[in-house]
Amino acid sequence: MTSSFRSPAITGAHMDEILGGRRLRRNRKSDWSRRLVRENTLTTDDLIWPLFIVDGENVREPVPSMPGVVRLSVDEAVREAENAMRLSIPAIALFPNTDPDLRDASGTEALNDQNLVCRACRAIRAEGYNVGLITDVALDPYTSHGHDGIMDGEKILNDETVEQLCRQALIQADAGADVIAPSDMMDGRVGALRQALDSNGFRDQQILAYSAKYASGFYGPFRDAVGTNATLVGDKRTYQMDPANTDEALREAELDIAEGADMVMVKPGMPYLDIIRRIKDTFQVPTYAYQVSGEFAMIEAASAHGWLDGERVMMESLMAFKRAGADGILTYFAPRVAEVLARGR
């Protein structure tokens, strides 16, 4: 049965009258026009490339839950630092997979100036590569229980942990780290780190604070990569943030900035774009996002099944961080994104 309703004839003039002359598609009609009106731009200057370090030589060990990501021996990390320079990636972030035999309850391997991170920093510096070195300040890669701090029973000891983090940071700075990045979420650690660095002659070392690090379910593949999934006892909700909170993120960032943080970071990234936006708008300081392992793994898995255009979604996800206000992004996609940008996509 045919409907008796009649659709009015829409002419160009009629539509112009409806729209009042405002046709937003004019600016989208061609590539050159879209480029001219684009509000946010992604470049290699926005990228930080996380690398996982293991013991040995000539080691490139795949991380099963992170397709395309490998654990690297120090010599291979040096090669990737050179690759970062070739791709114009400004900085790399180093994370160790510490031998289980070297892990103990207090994370003393973090204080070994010959640990994996320190050796990697020195080896990269010895080659003279002009790439920023960001080192993670936390105890979880070194503790037998997988937590970011020293424990007394089931309690994380804040102040005792901060004291150890300061010693860890000094060792990393002496090894050549440019940026000290505390990811532990202990209270007061940024101020203590700034004081320790300054009083020991490391005034130029920057602090990138993991200011809003949430107790998230998106970290699983990372914990596989650094070997803490098997060791973690309980969870980290007494020191990492509740995913339900946003105002608390502003308070955390405000404290870190007041204590001397040069840059702040939100982790994870994509599920917390609102937090990135609020922090950037409120404090107008360099603000970073960490596209964490779970975000990476989801995109890779969907791409492998043909459910998503992997490259397109990869680029779109990073643009989302830029749109939210991020000045830089830690992402495992960094070398692939750099290659795409070099092709002019």
Positions marked active-site: 213, 267
Rounded-to-integer distance, Cα 194 and Cα 90, Å: 23
Cβ distance 132 to 179 under 8 Å? yes
- Phi, psi at 267, each rounded to 5°: -145, 130
C-beta separation of 238 from 184 below 8 A:
no
Beta strands in the chain (DSSP E): 47-53, 60-62, 70-72, 91-96, 132-137, 151-152, 155-156, 179-182, 206-213, 263-267, 287-291, 328-331
Using omega within 30 degrees of 0 as the cis cutoff, is the peptide bond preceding 90 cis?
A: no
Alpha-carbon gap, residue 218 to 157, rounded angstroms: 25
